[in-house]
Structure 1
Amino acid sequence: MASIGSERQHVRLFFAERATGWETRYPDDTPAYAAAVEALEVPPGGRALDAGCGSARALPLLRAAVGPAGTVVGVDLTPEMLGEAVALGRRADGALIEADSAQLPLRDGTFDAVLAAGLVHHLPDPAAGLRELARVTRPGGRLALFHPLGRAALAARRGHDLRADDIRAEARLGPALSATGWRLALLDDSAERYLAVAVRRPH
């Protein structure tokens, strides 16, 4: 557990140092976020969760999808990122909660749709995280694992090689989702984006 705790702290510090002005560094990402939200097929009046929401760029998009009668919640581990979300006025679009996406303070089966942008590969135990996201999603609800760059493009930007043990790789992701309550419905790992959509299996 100490190892998981230290990994979690490392992620928190990484994003804390970069929180201020986060979206100004990636100003062109919103259309890709909009396409990911569209793929979630959030029902009007539904309930949507942005897990690992960061500066909550997706909250206005999720709010537009669910409408005024729906519920939108953003959860993030890093208080500095949530502070940036508040500064950007994102509280107008949904609730913001400081919490670990692998230990959500939310009831079982609450959400129709979950967006997890740039989250799953930062989790110390991705399988546990996927299981927790399944716990709070109703049967038939949808999960979008998303990044506005594909894995190869992102690795190249950071000067890394693609890793065979990456949870987002198709060979690993399908079995991991299946083992944690999901069924993989779509996977797009192109240069333009990474988007995996999964459906919550019946309990």
Structure 2
Amino acid sequence: MSDVHTHVQEFFTARAADWDTRFPDDGPAYAAAVASVGLRPGDRVLDAGCGTGRALSPLRAAVGPSGVVAGADLTPAMLQAAVRAGRDRDGRLMLADAAALPLRSGSLDAVFAAGLIAHLPHPAENLRELARVVRSGGRLALFHPIGRAALAARQGRRITPDDLRAETNLGPLLIRSGWRMTSYVDEDARFLALAVREG
């Protein structure tokens, strides 16, 4: 496991137990973001970097009982917190790295990723791996329950021009990775970039 992976695991392991209580009001933002993806009953969707699984219930509601919902995370403690919260009832949880997913190419209709992009060690390569598992025309949602400026303020830092989530950086990054950005929202109350898997 790389140093970056070890750092990410340590960061989230230390925070897993109280993650949901620290951010108790994010539920509606997750539900609204999932609704924006345009999932249909029967679709197959992955929550990449699912953490405690807060997106799994709205994802399950969107794809219905005939759909497939999976959640992948690198940190065992986050998956354990998801199980304690009962969210494993809404989707199959996998201990897996978003950079090397144990899924067939083109097997999914969509990937939902909340807060993931900031933790990707090799963003272009890692987004290409997400593209690999999604069929042509499938969708990607990069989400955060607060916008870039609000997140930076919470973390006591300023946004810099090289921020990956800036529209001018993210659009070209997605194109290089097999995606085409279709919409971009960066408001105090949410960050949501949607993209389509190019053929």
- TM-score normalized by structure 2? 0.98
Aligned residues: 199
1:56 CA displacement: 0.3
Q: What are structure 1's unaligned runs of at least 5 residues?
A: none
- Deviation digits for residues 18-70 of structure 1, max 9, x if unmatched? 00021111011011101110111111111010000000011011100000010
Question: Is 1:150 aligned to 2:136, yes or no?
Answer: no
**Offset of 1:91 from its aligned partner?**
1.2
Correspondent of 2:115 among 114, 118, 121 = 118
User: Which residue in the other structure is 1:161 paired with?
Assistant: 158
Of 20, 23, 28, the residue aligned with 1:23 is 20
Q: Which runs of 5+ in 2 are unaligned?
A: none
Tell me which amino acid in the other structure corresponds to 2:42.
G
| Mapped partners of 1:114, 1:144: distance in 2 | 6
Query: Residue 186 of structure 1 is aligned with which of 183, 187, 191?
Result: 183
Cα distance per residue 1:128-168 (max 9 Å; x no partner)? 11100000011111100000000000000110110211211
Report the Cα distance in structure 1 between the residues aligned to 2:77 and 2:105, rounded to whole angstroms: 28
Where do 1:92-111 residues align within 5 Å? Answer: 92-111=89-108
Contact (CA 8 Å) 1:43, 1:65: kept in 2 or not?
A: yes
Structure 1's consecutive aligned runs of 4 or more residues displaced over 2 angstroms after TM superposition are none
Q: 2:47 aligns with which of 44, 47, 50?
A: 50
Rounded Cα–Cα distance in structure 1 between residues aligned with 2:88 and 2:4: 28
Q: What residue is the counterpart of 1:38 in the other structure?
A: 35
Match of residue 67 from structure 1: 64
After superposition, what is the alpha-carbon deviation per residue over 1:110-131, rounded to whole angstroms, capped at 9, x for unaligned?
Answer: 1111100000111111111110
| Match among 106, 125, 128 for residue 128 of structure 1 | 125
Q: Distance in 2 between matches of 1:90 and 1:196?
A: 25
| Distance in 1 separating the partners of 2:139 and 2:72 | 17
Displacement of 1:97:
0.2
Looking at structure 2, the residues matched to 110 and 24 of structure 1 have their Cα atoms a distance apart, in angstroms, of 34
Alpha-carbon distance between aligned partners in 1 of 2:106 and 2:164, rounded to the nearest angstrom: 24
TM, length-normalised to structure 1: 0.96
- The sequence identity of aligned pairs, in percent, is 60
1:137 aligns to what?
Answer: 134
Distance in 2, Cα, partners of 1:22 & 1:180: 30
Distance 1:168 1:23 in 2: 24
